A = this chain, B = another copy of it.
Amino acid sequence: MSTKTKNGKRVFLQNEDCPIRNVVSQVGDKWSMLILFSLVEGPDRFNSLKTRIEGISQRMLTQTLRDLERDGYVNRTVYPEVPVKVEYELTPLGEGLAKSLWKLVSWANTHHDEIRSARREYDRDNG
């Protein structure tokens, strides 16, 4: 993420080779983390995820699942039953990601009120 130094301070990069940008730009969208944490509890099917994740549309669920699959976080398995059953599950990589996100989640839970009140104060004092 950071590379050279320049008068004592690090210089930060933002290109496609930056690991943290590659991870955060995937996981930082509207739905990825919700899907990830749903799947932490075990493999699940398309329609079940759609029900569990409130407000997600069919289109965004498909699309986000494809993106997670692409990065190797999620496996997609088709069972040729009838009607067809498609199951999604975390890969070891996806489980590792979820674990390393957990600290952030618990921090967010703990400090949520602080953030919200900072936001209110800022909005009161400014625009």
Assuming A14-B31, A38-B12, A96-B107, is B116 touching A22 (CB within 8 A)?
yes
CA distance A44 to B9 in the complex (A): 9
The answer to whether B9 and A41 touch across the interface, beta carbons within 8 angstroms, is: yes
Flag if B1 contacts A109 (CB, 8 Å): yes
A81 within 8 A of B: no
A-side interface size class: 35 or more
Q: What's the Cα separation between A107 and B6 when bound, in Å?
A: 26
Say yes or no for A101: interface residue by CB 8 A criterion. Answer: yes
Cα(A55)–Cα(B114), bound, Å: 32
Residues of B within 8 Å of A116, CB to CB, are 22
The answer to whether B115 and A23 have CB atoms under 8 Å apart is yes
